[in-house]
Amino acid sequence: MAEATKIKAKNEQGYWAFVNKQFRKKKTAVFSLYIVIVLAIVAVFAPFLANEKPLVCKYKGETFFPVLKDIAVGFGIGQFQPQFQNVDWKNLPYEMVVFAPVPYLPMNQDDKCIHSVGPFDTQDVPSARWKHWFGTDELGRDVLSGMIHGTKIAMTVGIVSMLIASIIGILLGSLAGFYGDENFQVSRVRLWGNLLFLFFAFFYSFGARSYDITDALGRGLGEGFIQLGISILIFTAVMVAGNLLVIVLKKIPFLGKQVAVPFDLIIMRVIEVLNSIPTLFLILLIISIVRKPNLYVIMGIIGLTGWTGIARFIRAELLKVRNLEYIEAANSLGFSNAHILFRHAIPNALSPVLISIAFGIAGAILTESTLSFLGLGPADTVTWGQLLSYARQIPQAWWLAIFPGFAIFITVTTFNLIGDGLTDAMDPRLKQ
């Protein structure tokens, strides 16, 4: 057993070492990886890089860290000191102060630099320290600050929406690929019974309690969660009770007959339907019925519409994997199908999915900036696409057209290059 583990570890190491080596051969991909790391750092430290509040200040004999405090307040820990509430941070009589490199927040309007002042125009600012290096937009908001905070948005959208898409895609794709149309066998009564129980469970947990839940959510998150918890309990109870009943009913020969659930057929049809509606149309359709799209809604929509590629990828991979010897071996050792699927099949099919994820992040960032450009993106934040869209309204403001667009371009390209590098690195045809 110990021997086997060692061999397995060595093989695994061998594969990743190989991928790593191949990946490092590709200079552009490695360089892109560094750019992504820089972008990630900018995203994480955005509040320290561009902020109207000082990083450190000494005020009336006391030392404060307003940016840190601001982050803590954002998390709901603590409150701002009373002397700092509703103040003009720029003009407080500090004894000592260190501002962020870009001393503006993306939503702050500089009243002296409205109507889009360019980087080379004369700017009405106290000193070069306060210069708008990338200019301002129509309302006098600093473009550089918007770009720094936009990095945060872009990276979050890319990663979170791809996470949603990956979870759905891997789950459905592996069900379709591993079980196919024949291999998932259940008794008749369990199949039809569970569909029926699902209806009842939804009915009693959510349908019949709809207003209880919404009212509780309206009163507060805590009460809402209690009500939701009760609903989930009811749901589970109905499902468990139903399945206990199934065990009894299975004794009847007609009901106990094994039938196959055609996962592949169902999931592939769903993918076909989703792919038949051009993605942007589908996204616009969903956005049109959402009252006010915020960042979470946008991420959810991109994730929910973007999983089909990953699902197809992993399905194709599992179609190959499920016929390999080790799966057969696991089968003959008596492991359950679910165990084989989650412990043996999916982990081995997962690495190629990294490629789709890399391309998917690029796509998600592009989709978000497209939506923002069209004016349908998250309304509560500044994004790259949004900044770019202002350029359409002001024909002289070239800085609004060039900088945000370039940021989108760089980010999308780096993720594409990483995907490209991974494709080459993982391509078994090169393993010679």
Partner 1 sequence: MKPVEVKTEAGKTEAGKKFFFASLSFPLFGYILKRVLIFIPTLFIISLLTFILISAAPGDPAETMLNRTSGEGQAANRLATERSYVDLRHKLGLDLPIFYFAPTNLAVSDTLLRIPIKNHREMLDRLTYQYGNWAQIENYYHQLKALDIAVISTKKDSTNADTLIELRNTVAKIFIHHEDNVLSPLLADLKTQSNSAANLTEVKAHAEATEEAYIKMKSDATPWKRYVPLVQWSGTHNQYHRWLFGEAKWFGTETDPTLGKGFIRGDYGISFFTKRPVKSVIWDGLWITMLISFLVIIIEYLISIPLGISLAVRKGSAYDSSVTVGLFLTYSLPVFWIGTMAIFFLCSPDYIEIFPPFGLGDATWDDGFFYKLGDLAYHLSLPLIIASYASFAYLSRQMRGSMLTVLGQDYIRTARAKGLPENKVIWKHAFRNSLLPIITIFASFFPALIGGSIILEFLFTIPGLGQITYAAVIQKDYPMILTNTMFAAILTLVGYLISDILYAVVDPRISYSKK
- Of residues 282, 304, 319, 354, which one binds partner 1 by CB under 8 A? 282
Nearest approach in angstroms of CB 270 to partner 1 is 9
Q: Which of 128, 17, 8 is nearest to 351 (CA)?
A: 17
Q: How far apart are CA 307 and CA 166, in angstroms?
A: 6
- Of residues 109, 294, 337, 370, which one binds partner 1 by CB under 8 A? 370
Q: How far apart are CA 34 and CA 25, in angstroms?
A: 15
Question: Please, which residue, 72 or 282, has the CB nearer to partner 1?
Answer: 282
Alpha helices in 117-220 (DSSP H): 143-179, 188-202, 210-219
Question: Please, which residue, 129 or 291, has the CB nearer to partner 1?
Answer: 291
If binding is defined by CB under 8 A, does position 417 make contact with partner 1?
yes
If binding is defined by CB under 8 A, does position 199 make contact with partner 1?
yes
If binding is defined by CB under 8 A, does position 398 make contact with partner 1?
yes
Nearest approach in angstroms of CB 292 to partner 1 is 10
- Of residues 287, 297, 316, 354, which one binds partner 1 by CB under 8 A? 287
How many residues bind partner 1, per CB under 8 A? 52
If binding is defined by CB under 8 A, does position 220 make contact with partner 1?
no
Q: How far apart are CA 226 and CA 252, in angstroms?
A: 40
If binding is defined by CB under 8 A, does position 387 make contact with partner 1?
no
Question: Please, which residue, 199 or 296, has the CB nearer to partner 1?
Answer: 199
Residue 385 is encoded by which pair of tokens? 């696409």
Nearest approach in angstroms of CB 16 to partner 1 is 26
- Phi/psi of residue 85, nearest 5 degrees: -80, 130
If binding is defined by CB under 8 A, does position 408 make contact with partner 1?
yes
> Which range of residues in 156-164, 181-189, 259-267, 388-396 is near partner 1 by CB under 8 A?
388-396
Nearest approach in angstroms of CB 395 to partner 1 is 5
Q: How far apart are the first and last CA of the chain?
A: 31
- Of residues 147, 170, 310, 412, which one binds partner 1 by CB under 8 A? 412
Exposed, middle or buried, 163 (CB in 10 Å: 0-12/13-18/19+)? middle
β-bridge mates for residue 71, sequence order: none
Nearest approach in angstroms of CB 211 to partner 1 is 5
Q: Are 385 and 371 in contact (CB under 8 A)?
A: yes
CA angle 195, 305, 36 (to 5 degrees): 130
54-59 and 62-64 strand pairing? antiparallel
Q: How far apart are CA 423 and CA 432, in angstroms?
A: 16
Nearest approach in angstroms of CB 73 to partner 1 is 32
If binding is defined by CB under 8 A, does position 416 make contact with partner 1?
yes
If binding is defined by CB under 8 A, does position 366 make contact with partner 1?
yes
If binding is defined by CB under 8 A, does position 289 make contact with partner 1?
yes
Question: Please, which residue, 271 or 340, has the CB nearer to partner 1?
Answer: 271
Question: Please, which residue, 171 or 401, has the CB nearer to partner 1?
Answer: 401
Q: How far apart are CA 348 and CA 343, in angstroms?
A: 9
Nearest approach in angstroms of CB 180 to partner 1 is 20
Handedness of CA 236, 237, 243, 244 (dihedral sign): positive
Q: How far apart are CA 314 and CA 320, in angstroms?
A: 10
If binding is defined by CB under 8 A, does position 342 make contact with partner 1?
no
Here the contacts of 109-112 (C-beta below 8 Å, separation 24 or greater) are 109/139, 109/140, 109/141, 110/136, 110/140, 110/141, 110/142, 111/140, 112/140
Question: Please, which residue, 220 or 375, has the CB nearer to partner 1?
Answer: 375
If binding is defined by CB under 8 A, does position 201 make contact with partner 1?
no
If binding is defined by CB under 8 A, does position 361 make contact with partner 1?
no
Q: How far apart are CA 57 and CA 275, in angstroms?
A: 55
If one counts every other C-beta atom within 10 angstroms of the C-beta of residue 377, the result is: 26
Only one residue has tokens 């002296």, namely 112
Nearest approach in angstroms of CB 392 to partner 1 is 6
β-bridge mates for residue 37, sequence order: none
- Of residues 250, 330, 413, 424, which one binds partner 1 by CB under 8 A? 413
> Which range of residues in 123-131, 187-195, 203-211, 299-307 is near partner 1 by CB under 8 A?
203-211
- Of residues 246, 388, 418, 422, which one binds partner 1 by CB under 8 A? 388
Nearest approach in angstroms of CB 170 to partner 1 is 21
Which residues bind to partner 1, rule: CB under 8 A?
199-200, 203-204, 207-208, 210-211, 269, 272-273, 275-282, 284-289, 291, 362, 366, 369-370, 373-376, 385, 388, 391-392, 395-396, 398, 401-402, 405-406, 408-409, 412-413, 416-417, 420
